Structure 1
Amino acid sequence: MAETAAAAPTTFNVFFGNIPFGTTEETLKNLFPGNADLIDAKVIRRGVRSMGYGFVEFRTEAAAKAAVDAWNKKEIEGRPVNVEISVKKERATTAPAATAGAAAAAAAPATGDAAARGAAAGGARRGRFNRGPRAPRAPRAEGAAPLTGAAPVAAAPAAAAPAGERRPRAPRAARPARTPRAPVDPSAPREESKTLLFVGNLPFTVTDNQLKTDTFAGFEVARAYVVPGRREGRSKGYGFVELNSEAEADRALAAVQGKTVEDRTITVKRALKTDSAGPAAAATATA
């Protein structure tokens, strides 16, 4: 295809980069005193602040090249500047194939449908908004096998929704009602455990084994449990110890009460019975 020849520039711009921020248009003009080919100078700014570069306009290409030779890599107020001839980027003038197709589409008769005009365009613009009308699909016979080769499945009849309205969804199955918990009366008397002891004010680093073998050493301990905290490796500072008998629990209660564990004086009390079994239950100590 024929290309339109670009018009020759009438003036020539010289780019000045890395100029000091205090440089003005007059500063750039004063770099070329008495130059008859100098037209103008421009410092590029964002608002009132200089962007650090500008342009000097000349009438002839020879004057522009002389400016580059004279000032490229030279210093202006202590800053080496970059000077080169500015090349203006021209837009492509060659008409792409899509443009030719679009011209053909424009030349199509106005009475033609959208599909005909789209074919004349030669696919210049493709997209879901430029497609022609799609031919309706043939209805599939009831009970016909799917395209994947699977066994035929009879489609469940669906109620036809009015035009412009959504088909109502089937109601969800009702969830089973939860069994309400029996209310707890805080004023009701609670029975003390005969073998389970509450141990408070424990160091946060004490483990189950330390509570059993160190704190309650010399007693017949069935199991010991330190209630863990949110942080890994640290407890909430209390736990439970279950002895093998009521007599052993009485002996441990008298001996361990007030014992010092890692500079902390622990408290030992009988735990209250709860519905949950074992030391891991959320038992509370008597006041």
Structure 2
Amino acid sequence: MGYEDMWAPGRTGAPADLRPDIPHPARMYDYYLGGKDNFPADRAAAEKALAANPEFRSTARANRGFLTRAVRCLAELGIDQFLDVGTGIPTVGNTHEIARAATPNARVVYVDNDPIVLSHARALMAGAGHGRTTVIQADLRRPDPLLDAVRAVDLLDFSRPVGLVLAAVLHFLRDEDEPYRAVATLLDALPSGSHLVLSHGTADFIPPAVRDRVTGVYDKATAPLVGRSRAEVHAFFDGLDLLDPGVVTVPLWRPDTPPATDAERVSMYGAVARKP
């Protein structure tokens, strides 16, 4: 069942603010990954973005691979609790699934401000086998209330290291949304030994004309797309100890198999770092 079937006219309980006529980045991302949880407006916008930059689909898939390897790495390092902010529509290989494969008792709190994501995530979590996992609504642009909401569910122990996951979410925050302050506020609440997993879109390898066409598509969606340079992405890790190989394009972060020859030009940076 796809999203259109799930919330077809006549069904009860449909969220009032899905806004299916306006492209949504989470649903567009789902389309890039080959999912079914998207509307015609999302598919049309995603196709426009793909026409401008066909690498969007492979970049989305490379980011999922990075998330898998990064969370698995933290679980193997002994991190057994995760705060995943801006999780997006659930798909195969979610944070709790990756973590629990290595640590069966792993705890995961998912946070998103979007009712579309929340509807899907809560439906997924309603099934068996998801362990100590919950989903809450909060906004990364307001990190203090976000932390209050996380503490209120009383699932994570903030006296022990936490894996903070910010995968492909910060590029939807404009500079005026203070993304660096948001990340710093979340990290300040976590103890020494916590880790940050972060990936972020970039226009470093895209011609300006292509960049402008892509951002133009997202300007008409419910959130913008703000590509940042490697130096700007690196700044999110200030004060942290980067794990090897540092800030690299996502296919180059500890790949399981030899990366493609153009992996160093994929339009997404990623890194993992430890809080001293």
Structure-1-length-normalised TM-score: 0.16
Query: Relative contact order (alpha carbons < 8 A, sep ≥ 6): 1 or 2 greater?
Result: 2
Structure-2-length-normalised TM-score: 0.16
Larger proportion of strand: 1
Larger proportion of helix: 2
Pair member with larger Rg: 1
